[in-house]
Chain A
Amino acid sequence: MSESSLLLVENVSKSFGAVKVADATNLEVNAGEVVGILGPNGAGKTSLFNLITGALSADSGTINFKGNDITRTNAAYRCKLGMARSFQVPQPFVGMSVFENALVGATHGAGLKPSAANAHVVSVLDATGLMARANVKAGVLTLLERKRLELARALSTKPSLLLLDEIAGGLTDSECESLITSIKNVHLQGTTIIWIEHIVHALLAVAQKLIVLDFGKVIAAGQPDEIMASEQVRQIYLGVDNA
Chain B
Amino acid sequence: MEWLGVVVQGVLLGGLYALFATGLSLMFGVMRLVNIAHGDLIVLGAYIALSTVAILDVHPVIAMVLVVPIMGFVGYALQRTLLNRTLGADILPPLLVTFGLSVILQNALLEIYSADPQKLSAGPMETASVSFGSLSVGVFPLLTFVSAIVLIGLLQWVFYHTSLGREFRAVSDNQEIAQLMGINKAHVFGVAMALAFAVTAIAGILFGVRTSFDPSIGGGRLLLAFEAVIIGGLGNLWGTLAGGIILGVAQTVGGQINPGWQQLAGHIAFLFVLAIKPTGLFPRVAH
Taken together as a complex, chains A and B put the C-alpha atoms of A75 and B246 apart, in Å, by 44
Q: Is the CB of B170 within 8 A of A104?
A: yes
A162 CB, nearest partner CB in chain B, Å: 12
Taken together as a complex, chains A and B put the C-alpha atoms of A156 and B287 apart, in Å, by 24
B177 CB, nearest partner CB in chain A, Å: 5
B185 lies within 8 A of chain A by Cβ: yes
B56 lies within 8 A of chain A by Cβ: no
Q: Is the CB of B182 within 8 A of A96?
A: no
Interface residues on B, range: 10 to 19
What residues of chain B lie closer than 8 Å to A54, measured between beta carbons?
Answer: 179
Taken together as a complex, chains A and B put the C-alpha atoms of A110 and B180 apart, in Å, by 12
Contact A105-B182, Cβ < 8 Å, known A91-B177, A93-B174, A94-B287: yes
A108 lies within 8 A of chain B by Cβ: yes
Over the window 53-81 of chain A, the binary record of Cβ atoms lying under 8 Å from chain B Cβ atoms (1 yes, 0 no) is 11100000000000000000011100110
Q: Is the CB of B181 within 8 A of A79?
A: yes
Taken together as a complex, chains A and B put the C-alpha atoms of A103 and B163 apart, in Å, by 9
Interface centre among B169, B173, B182 (most CB of A within 10 A): B182
Q: Is the CB of A105 within 8 A of B181?
A: yes
What residues of chain B lie closer than 8 Å to A53, measured between beta carbons?
Answer: 180
Q: Is the CB of B178 within 8 A of A104?
A: yes
Interface residues of A in 155-186 (CB under 8 A from B): 156-157
Q: Kindly count the residue-residue contacts between A and B in the assembled complex, taking CB atoms under 8 Å apart.
A: 67
Q: Is the CB of A108 within 8 A of B169?
A: no
Taken together as a complex, chains A and B put the C-alpha atoms of A87 and B174 apart, in Å, by 13
Q: Is the CB of A104 within 8 A of B166?
A: yes
Interface centre among B177, B181, B183, B287 (most CB of A within 10 A): B181
Q: Is the CB of A108 within 8 A of B183?
A: yes
A107 lies within 8 A of chain B by Cβ: yes
Contact A108-B181, Cβ < 8 Å, known A93-B169, A96-B166, A103-B166: yes
Interface residues of A in 91-112 (CB under 8 A from B): 91, 93-96, 100, 103-105, 107-111
Q: Is the CB of A95 within 8 A of B182?
A: no
Interface residues of B in 238-256 (CB under 8 A from A): none
Interface residues of A in 106-151 (CB under 8 A from B): 107-111, 114, 137, 139
Taken together as a complex, chains A and B put the C-alpha atoms of A87 and B180 apart, in Å, by 11
What residues of chain A lie closer than 8 Å to B173, measured between beta carbons?
Answer: 93-96
What residues of chain A lie closer than 8 Å to B227, measured between beta carbons?
Answer: none
Taken together as a complex, chains A and B put the C-alpha atoms of A100 and B183 apart, in Å, by 14
Taken together as a complex, chains A and B put the C-alpha atoms of A91 and B180 apart, in Å, by 12
Over the window 180-192 of chain B, the binary record of Cβ atoms lying under 8 Å from chain A Cβ atoms (1 yes, 0 no) is 1111110000000
Q: Is the CB of A95 within 8 A of B166?
A: no
A29 lies within 8 A of chain B by Cβ: no
Over the window 250-287 of chain B, the binary record of Cβ atoms lying under 8 Å from chain A Cβ atoms (1 yes, 0 no) is 00000000000000000000000000000000000001
Q: Is the CB of B179 within 8 A of A79?
A: yes
A85 lies within 8 A of chain B by Cβ: yes
Question: Which one, A105, A108, A139, contacts B287 given CB within 8 A?
Answer: A139
Taken together as a complex, chains A and B put the C-alpha atoms of A54 and B179 apart, in Å, by 9
A84 lies within 8 A of chain B by Cβ: yes
B167 lies within 8 A of chain A by Cβ: yes
Q: Is the CB of A93 within 8 A of B179?
A: no
What residues of chain B lie closer than 8 Å to A156, measured between beta carbons?
Answer: 181
Q: Is the CB of A153 within 8 A of B181?
A: yes
Taken together as a complex, chains A and B put the C-alpha atoms of A54 and B185 apart, in Å, by 14
Q: Is the CB of B169 within 8 A of A76?
A: no
Q: Is the CB of A104 within 8 A of B183?
A: yes
What residues of chain B lie closer than 8 Å to A75, measured between beta carbons?
Answer: 176, 179-180
Q: List 15 A-B contacts (CB under 8 A).
A: A54-B179, A79-B180, A79-B182, A84-B180, A91-B177, A94-B287, A100-B166, A103-B166, A104-B170, A104-B178, A105-B182, A107-B166, A108-B167, A109-B181, A157-B182
Residues of A that sit less than 8 Å from B by CB: 53-55, 74-76, 79-80, 84-85, 87, 91, 93-96, 100, 103-105, 107-111, 114, 137, 139, 153, 156-157
> Besides A55-B176, A96-B173, 18 other CB < 8 A contacts?
A74-B179, A75-B176, A75-B180, A76-B182, A79-B179, A79-B181, A79-B182, A80-B182, A93-B174, A95-B169, A95-B287, A104-B167, A104-B183, A108-B181, A114-B163, A156-B181, A157-B181, A157-B182
